[in-house]
């Protein structure tokens, strides 16, 4: 299975901003996640307080005109008996709503983790592009100095110097564009961290390796749909219980009865639901809700399966591209540069060929670093598709 192809445990410079570090910071700083956590705590508390036992009713009656002599009074205690599983169904419904709130919090965290991963991939790519451009500018400046020395002895022309200057100009322009893009990505990261946009963001590691994403647990979308199904089933049970009579018991003492054996009373009450047509319609509506909720579970499962399959294929394809770059494109580009430099030093290769080789090697390095960042992002996407918030932790 593809899960063993590429590892997300990044072997990186510990001083750089790692993907997992950024993900944790984004989740911790996000106020929406804090609000969702408070909502979840509220739902849990409401679930614990759901369907309490009905409070008893105590009636005390006094005959006011008897207070001057032997007072006449009576007391009665009534208690409803919520039978037929209604209280349990209410508790189950509240608990399922709390579970759904927990799943929604997990979904929000996974979305934040995905945004953090996308920002980190761009952050890494743009820094590597700037580093590679700076290194190539240094090489071209040395080439310009060499060309100037050759012009002085008649082995090169001013046109050669202009060719190097043109290449330097293009790379300088690219540096400015890349620096602007770096600043834009820094704003994205600071926005995700909910801090001022001009706060300095740590540079990413100088290099990363892409080894194997971990498998996660259940996706929160499926867990939420399952929780909503349990809530719908509990609602149906409550609707069915509401069609049955409500029972109650009572006991009392009537001090105004002349005969002692008549003073203590006990009995039962029955509340009969007469409008069975309306209550049957409520049951039908609840049953339809159960069917819809169960269908939503199947929909969520299919959707998640599709996302996992898509993430696996993207990771497989991008990993193959990265392997081709590392095994074929980069070695050939670097060998071409080495040969062009040796030939230029020996006078067998002209400046135009050297500049073309340098440009091709730089583009190959750009492409490699971008693809490496893409593979890291794809591996992270596969973990998120499996419901894994961070490597080594469940969502």
According to the model, what pLDDT value does residue 316 have?
A: 94
Residue 391, domain member (yes or no): no
Report if pTM > 0.85: no
Cβ neighbours of residue 349 closer than 8 Å, sequence gap 6 or more: 339, 340, 342, 343
- Residue 73: phi and psi, rounded to 5, are -150, 160
Query: What does the pLDDT read at residue 47?
Result: 66
75 inside domain: yes
Confidence of residue 12 (pLDDT cuts 50, 70, 90): very low
* Average pLDDT of the chain, as a whole number: 85
Q: Name the domain count of the chain.
A: 1
Domain region containing 21: 2-385
DSSP notation for 320-364: HHHHHIIIIIHHHHHHHHHHHHHHHHHTSS-HHHHHHHHHHHHHH
Q: Is residue 42 part of a domain?
A: yes
Closest by Cα among 297, 300, 293, 280 to 234: 293
Residues in contact with 139: Cβ distance below 8 Å, sequence separation at least 6, in sequence order: 358
- The first and second tokens of residue 34, run together, are 């804090």
Across the range 243-270, mean pLDDT stands at: 79
Assess if residue 69 is contained within a domain: yes
pLDDT score of 1: 36
Contact 330, 364 (CB under 8 A): yes
Vertex 260, ends 259 and 265: CA angle to 5°? 100
pLDDT (mean) for 128-156: 91
Structure tokens belonging to residue 105: 């919090």
Q: Is the pLDDT of residue 319 over 90?
A: yes
The answer to whether residue 395 is domain-embedded is: no
Residue 323 pLDDT class (50, 70, 90 cuts) = very high
In a domain, 393, yes or no: no
Residue 2 clears pLDDT 70, i.e. is over it: no
Is residue 71 situated within a structural domain? yes
pLDDT on residue 10: 38
Residue 329 has pLDDT above 90, yes or no: yes
Query: Given this model, what pLDDT does residue 246 score?
Result: 80
Reported confidence tier of residue 13, pLDDT bands at 50, 70, 90:
very low
User: For residue 293, is pLDDT > 50?
Assistant: yes
- List of residues 6+ apart from 189 with CB closer than 8 A: 22, 119, 120, 123, 201
Q: Across the beta sheet with 264-271, what order do the strands follow?
A: 57-63, 72-81, 246-254, 264-271
- The CATH number assigned to the domain holding 338 equals 1.20.1600.10
């Amino acid at each position: 299975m593809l899960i063993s192809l590429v590892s997300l445990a990044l072997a990186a410079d510990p001083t750089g901003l790692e993907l997992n570090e950024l993900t944790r910071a984004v989740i911790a700083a996000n106020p929406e996640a804090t609000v969702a956590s408070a909502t979840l705590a509220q739902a849990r508390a409401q679930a614990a307080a759901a369907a309490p036992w009905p409070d008893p009713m105590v009636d005390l009656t006094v005959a006011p005109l008897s207070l001057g002599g032997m007072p006449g009074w009576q007391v009665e205690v009534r208690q409803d008996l919520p039978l037929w599983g209604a209280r349990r169904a209410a508790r189950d419904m509240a608990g399922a709503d709390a579970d759904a709130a927990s799943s929604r919090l997990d979904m929000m965290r996974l979305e934040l983790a995905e945004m953090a991963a996308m920002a980190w991939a761009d952050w890494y790519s743009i820094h590597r592009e700037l580093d590679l451009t700076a290194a190539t500018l240094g090489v071209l400046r040395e080439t310009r100095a060499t060309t100037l020395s050759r012009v002085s002895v008649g082995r090169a022309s001013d046109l050669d110097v202009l060719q190097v200057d043109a290449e330097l100009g293009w790379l300088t322009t690219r540096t400015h564009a890349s620096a602007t893009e770096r600043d834009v990505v820094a704003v994205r990261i600071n926005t995700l961290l909910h801090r001022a946009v001009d706060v300095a963001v740590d540079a990413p590691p100088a290099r990363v390796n892409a080894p194997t994403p971990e498998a996660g647990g259940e996706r929160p979308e499926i867990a939420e749909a399952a929780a909503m199904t349990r809530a719908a089933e509990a609602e149906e049970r409550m609707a069915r219980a509401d069609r049955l009579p409500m029972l109650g018991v009572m006991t009392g003492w009537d001090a105004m009865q002349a005969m002692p054996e008549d003073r203590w009373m006990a009995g039962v009450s029955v509340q009969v639901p007469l409008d069975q047509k309306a209550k049957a319609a409520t049951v039908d509506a609840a049953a339809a809700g159960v069917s819809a909720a169960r269908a939503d579970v199947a929909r969520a499962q299919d959707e998640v399966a599709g996302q996992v399959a898509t993430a696996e294929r993207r990771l497989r394809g991008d990993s193959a591209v990265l392997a081709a770059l590392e095994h074929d494109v980069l070695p050939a580009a670097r060998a071409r540069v080495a040969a062009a430099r040796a030939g230029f030093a020996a006078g067998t290769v002209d400046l135009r060929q050297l500049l073309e080789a340098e440009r091709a090697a730089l583009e190959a390095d750009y492409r490699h670093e971008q693809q490496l960042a893409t593979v890291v992002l794809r591996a992270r996407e596969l973990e998120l598709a499996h419901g894994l918030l961070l490597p080594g932790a469940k969502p």
